[in-house]
């Protein structure tokens, strides 16, 4: 019993008999206000604990040999799908013309209504009863071998489609100036398709994988060929001499999406006001980015900044009209890391909020209470004088 009595004397929270309580209006107001503040700060701490904070770190990018994923969704209001091609070229000299894989083209009328959507390169018309290169009928067990119209690399070189004729001409660095005379192009209905799509627009959606070096990818009217490092466009009948490259960029990103990513070109529209054709260039600075979430899942992606420039190309044979995205890489890599607030830190903050507000409100209440009593006593003394 002596031990418990000594322990009782150590009580830092002595209890007051209820008979001695004196409740005041000011104390009630202070209690309500302090409770509201305490509740507000408590909810704020809960939100901070549940939501993740992100730390940012900058390092030098030493990665090599990686590929860059380009996601795009672009709408051309005045360019038919049959004349728009997607091409890439980089500083190493690697070039890809009229890319077809992983790209979907959607035909649209001038009001934006979808007419037809199909993946490029799928469903191409087949040539029925093709002509033999040297004339005459096919002999038994003889396969069709279409003419390359002077661009054959070997005697047995065959071009069985319009695209293969174009590729043969490109390898020779020749311009295909009269594709209407190519039997394969006529049989595939190329010119009929261009006639049918006159006045339409086109939505081009898909992705590209390019080497992680400086370069550009572009959307240009006509099937572009590269000759002596300069770009030239085939003169296809029924195509216009000038093109309206008005466009909407619905989405453009480099790499996978990650939380908080902002793509500055999303939902951007540019309207061509000049009557002549031109190049609209986007100069993109790509910043490699790594995002690591709280589960240690790593997302390798990129951020980018951009500047824009329009260049009139009337009379220039070096730069065909179109929309060009010229990209370069930053030597700095950004690393984002998600982190949770520690449980002990959360509990410490909660205790600090409750204890701090309770103490401060007690001080304010005591100051108001004793101030009221002192004022009341002074008024009573002045009354008796």
Domain boundaries, the chain: 15-51+342-378, 58-125+201-339, 129-188
Higher pLDDT, 377 or 126: 377
For CA atoms 173, 175, 181, 186, the dihedral sign is positive
Higher pLDDT, 228 or 354: 354
Nearest CA to 301 among 290, 311, 285, 315?
Answer: 290
Nearest CA to 85 among 77, 69, 71, 97?
Answer: 97
Q: Which of 17-31, 229-243, 315-329 has maximum average pLDDT?
A: 315-329
- Find the largest Cα–Cα distance for the chain: 138
pLDDT, position 238: 40
pLDDT, position 229: 36
**What are the residues facing 312 on neighbouring strands?**
278
Residue 286 has pLDDT above 90, yes or no: yes
Of 100-109, 303-312, 316-325, which range is least confident? 316-325
Of 126-130, 332-336, 367-371, 381-385, which range is least confident? 126-130
Q: What is the pLDDT of residues 24-42, one digit of tens each?
A: 777 888 888 888 999 999 8
Phi, psi dihedrals of residue 154, rounded to the nearest 5°? -135, 170
Q: What is the pLDDT of residues 50-91, one digit of tens each?
A: 877 788 999 999 888 789 999 999 999 988 888 888 999 999
pLDDT, position 204: 94
pLDDT, position 225: 37
pLDDT, position 74: 95
Residue 341 has pLDDT above 80, yes or no: no
Nearest CA to 319 among 308, 310, 328?
Answer: 310
For the chain, what is the total number of helices (H) and then of strands (E)? 6, 16
Residue 304 has pLDDT above 90, yes or no: yes
Of 60-64, 272-276, 277-281, which range is least confident? 272-276
Please enumerate in sequence order all residues whose Cβ is within 8 A of that of 147, keeping only pairs 6 or more positions apart, or say none: 133, 159, 183
**pLDDT tier at 273 (50, 70, 90 boundaries)?**
confident
pTM (2 d.p.):
0.66
Residue 136 has pLDDT above 80, yes or no: no
- 376 token code pair: 């009341």
Percent of the chain with pLDDT over 90: 28
pLDDT, position 240: 53
DSSP class of residue 102 equals T
**pLDDT tier at 20 (50, 70, 90 boundaries)?**
low
Enclosing H/E stretch for 201: strand 201-211
């Amino acid at each position: 019993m002596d031990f418990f009595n000594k322990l009782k004397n150590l009580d830092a929270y002595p209890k007051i008999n209820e008979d001695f309580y004196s409740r005041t209006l000011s104390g009630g107001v202070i209690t309500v206000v302090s409770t509201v503040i305490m509740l507000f700060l408590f909810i704020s701490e809960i939100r901070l604990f549940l939501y993740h904070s992100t730390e940012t770190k900058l390092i030098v990018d030493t990665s090599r040999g990686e590929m860059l994923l380009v996601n795009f969704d672009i709408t051309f209001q005045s360019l038919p799908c049959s004349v728009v091609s997607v091409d890439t070229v980089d500083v190493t000299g690697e070039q890809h013309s009229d890319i077809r894989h992983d790209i979907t083209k959607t035909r649209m009328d001038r009001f934006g209504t979808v007419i037809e959507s199909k993946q490029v390169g799928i469903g191409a018309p087949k040539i029925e009863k093709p002509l033999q290169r040297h004339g005459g009928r096919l002999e038994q067990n003889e396969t069709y071998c279409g003419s390359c119209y002077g661009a054959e690399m070997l005697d047995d070189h065959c071009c069985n489609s319009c695209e293969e004729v174009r590729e043969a001409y490109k390898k020779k660095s020749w311009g295909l100036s009269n594709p209407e005379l190519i039997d394969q192009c006529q049989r595939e209905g190329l010119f009929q398709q261009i006639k049918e799509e006159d006045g339409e627009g086109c939505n081009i959606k898909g992705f590209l994988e390019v080497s992680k070096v400086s370069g550009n990818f572009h959307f240009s009217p006509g099937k572009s060929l590269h000759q002596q490092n300069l770009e030239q466009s085939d003169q296809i009948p029924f195509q216009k001499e000038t093109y309206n490259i008005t466009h909407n960029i619905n989405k453009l990103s480099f790499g996978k999406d990650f939380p908080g990513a902002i793509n500055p070109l999303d939902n951007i529209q540019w309207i061509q006001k000049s009557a002549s054709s031109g190049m609209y260039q986007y100069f993109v600075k790509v910043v490699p980015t790594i995002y690591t979430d709280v589960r240690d899942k790593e997302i390798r992606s990129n951020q980018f900044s951009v500047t824009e420039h329009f260049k009139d190309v009337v009379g220039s044979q070096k730069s065909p009209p179109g929309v060009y995205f010229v990209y370069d890489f930053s030597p700095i890599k950004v690393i984002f890391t998600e982190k949770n607030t520690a449980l002990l830190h959360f509990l410490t903050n909660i205790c600090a909020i409750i204890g701090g507000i309770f103490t401060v409100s007690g001080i304010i209440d005591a100051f108001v209470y004793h101030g009221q009593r002192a004022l009341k006593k002074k008024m009573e003394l002045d009354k008796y004088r």
